[in-house]
A = this chain, B = another copy of it.
Amino acid sequence: LESNTVRAAADEPIWGYQCVKERCERVLVHDAEGRARAVQALSVCKLTCGTSANLWPRPRHLHTSKTLDWVNYSSINVETRGDDGSDYRNHRGGSLLQQASELFREQQMRKATIKDGTPLVKTGGKTLEVTVSLRDPGRHQLTLNTDEGYELFVKIMSDGRINTTIIADNFFGARHALETLNQLIVLDDLEKQLRLPREVTIRDSPAFPYRGVLLDTSRNFVSVDAIKRTLDAMAASKLNTFHWHITDSHSFPFVSQSFPKFHLYGAYTPAEVYTPTEVVDVVAYGRVRGVRVLPELDAPAHVGEGWQWVGDNATVCVKAEPWQKYCVEPPCGQLNPTVDKVYDLLGGLYHDMLSLFKPDMFHMGGDEVNFNCWNNTDSIVEWMVKKNLSGRQEDDFRMVWDHFQKRAYEKLVEANHGHELPVVIWTSGLTAPGKVDRYLDPKKYIIQIWTKGDDPLIKELAEKKYRLIFSNYEALYFDCGFGAWVGEGNNWCSPYIGWQKVYDNDLKKLLRNLGVEPDQTSVLGAEATLWTEQADSHSVDGRLWPRAAAMAERLWSDPVTGWQAAEYRMVSHRERLVKLGVQADSLQPQWCHQNEGYCYLSHNIQGEH
């Protein structure tokens, strides 16, 4: 009896939705006189109300019809042959496309069925044919120059099939097109169909080539499953760089094949490691989702655990006390730049990382060297005296750091078989105002900015033609706002950063505010960071999502409008992430999702589709 009552509700819906003034309004299916109203499923209303088709990130140019077609989820064909008849499966990029197509089919299957395979939809619908045409089908690696644009066309054929055409330069654009198409196919729980706009014309490409998420797996270990969930959500949001801050002072979970003692000494527990197989798996998992996995080996600071077996005074100040004198948080630890063995070990680690990650660029870290630590190390001070750096002033220590950076860079290039590759480094001592070009060649180094977005240094870096990645902490540090973990109160960069602030972190506006003309700069994009002093596998999803998706639209679409215009779609996208299995934080009561336009603070800011 009980389950019948509940089921009756499902069979005879009481509520439906209508698009009124570009908002989906919840209305009773029957009016006061018992007459049936013309209502839609919420998903259908969201898809057809307004002009953005509920897509996230919003494509740059789109037109979608309000009329929908019924897609037969068990009859979806993705054709990966080109116009010339060549089969992309023979290309490395083509094999990626095969996998992405399979993912696309699985996504539709998941929408149409519940976990045990029971269909949520009626039998029937139209066959969906997807034809992918690539200009460069052999491209299998994302670089900073990769064209990620795509065109997507949907039309109905005379024989009743739905024809979808995807045109892109390469796999990475085509994958984004499949993601867009995926978002355009919705489950209609009133009609019990998967439905797709009958006509679609989309021309789309990202505003910025670098759209990243940093995850720190040293302060706390993060499981491979949690990393894969992160990659799933990134793919759904068209982010393209997973920056893996894999080691730090706290632990060394990376399994080095050259020097296996690093993880034996440095992992929190023997199980909390990333084996070569797992790294290769993560890299492949990312690639098929359009995401490069960018390794960071942070040095010469932010080291410690894992180096205990080395000896030879290779590390200094490890666990030094009181820590406040030697580093920014416990435990302290820095490399000793005067010890040759340090560079041999780095070379081996670079070799291991390059061979597993096969990255198109590399992150060398390079932040927060504590000069007092080096200044308190006799062997370093003696070495400085020999090198005539005896003033023991900041500039002397910067020269030591510069020495380190140059030798480490040589080791990296050597490990890359003599080929240079773009290197990222954090704003820090080497990027000090007025001095950065003394140490870092703008042709070689990309600078990742983690100071505030109004730091005048940004202007200097832009004018000196550095390529820039923004992680300005007041908008993109997703660890901010929780309790303190040393002492009490709240953590250093509190308060918590709401998605609205992330969304409105407009890079071009930041530049203009500093007096820099955006068109004259090499801003590659931005990156949300999750430092994991207070997060691990159990909380990574909620810390990153949906806030990283807010950044994703900023970087992809770079809208002239602010968060208010994106709010309804943001909340929808969060639901999308949850359905992917990502434990994304809830932004609002579900009531707001079902009653668009009622959850506002002042009347002049309202969302739109």
Contact = CB atoms under 8 A, between A and B. Distances in A.
B2 A589 contact: no
A198 to B, nearest CB: 27
A145 interface: no
Contacts of A488: 498, 500-501, 563, 601
Most chain B Cβ neighbours within 10 Å, of A273, A498, A534: A498
Interface in A256-306: 260, 263-265, 267-268, 270-273, 275-277, 305
Contacts of A270: 6-7, 9-10, 13
Most chain B Cβ neighbours within 10 Å, of A28, A264, A499, A595: A264
A586 B496 contact: no
Interface string A6-38: 111110011100000000000010000000000
A588 interface: yes
A9 B578 contact: no
Interface stretch (A169-177, A479-487, A516-524): A479-487
A319 interface: yes
Counted per complex, copies of this chain come to 2
Nearest to A498: B483
A494 interface: yes
Given A251-B591, A590-B250, A486 B331 contact: no
A536 B330 CA distance: 34
Interface SS of chain A: loop
A484 B496 contact: no
Contacts of A490: 481, 495-496, 498
A333 B595 CA distance: 15
Nearest to A275: B2
Interface residues of A, number: 87
Nearest to A584: B538
A250 B599 CA distance: 12
B598 A319 contact: yes
Interface string A508-543: 000000000000000000000000111110110110
Interface in A320-359: 321-323, 330-331
Interface in A447-485: 481-485
A419 interface: no
Given A486-B601, A495-B481, A586 B535 contact: yes
A585 interface: yes
A331 B591 contact: yes
Most chain B Cβ neighbours within 10 Å, of A487, A603, A605: A487
Nearest to A502: B483
Nearest to A545: B538
Given A10-B271, A538-B578, A599-B330, A532 B586 contact: yes
Contacts of A272: 590
Given A10-B271, A28-B308, A598-B330, A255 B5 contact: yes
Given A263-B9, A586-B536, A594 B268 contact: yes
A388 interface: no
A421 interface: no
Most chain B Cβ neighbours within 10 Å, of A221, A277, A331: A331
Contact of A539 (B9, B585, B599, B600): B585
A595 B494 CA distance: 26
A40 interface: no
Most chain B Cβ neighbours within 10 Å, of A255, A541, A584, A598: A598
A256 B486 CA distance: 49
A271 B535 CA distance: 32
9 contacts: A2-B277, A250-B590, A481-B496, A483-B496, A483-B500, A488-B500, A494-B495, A534-B586, A583-B583
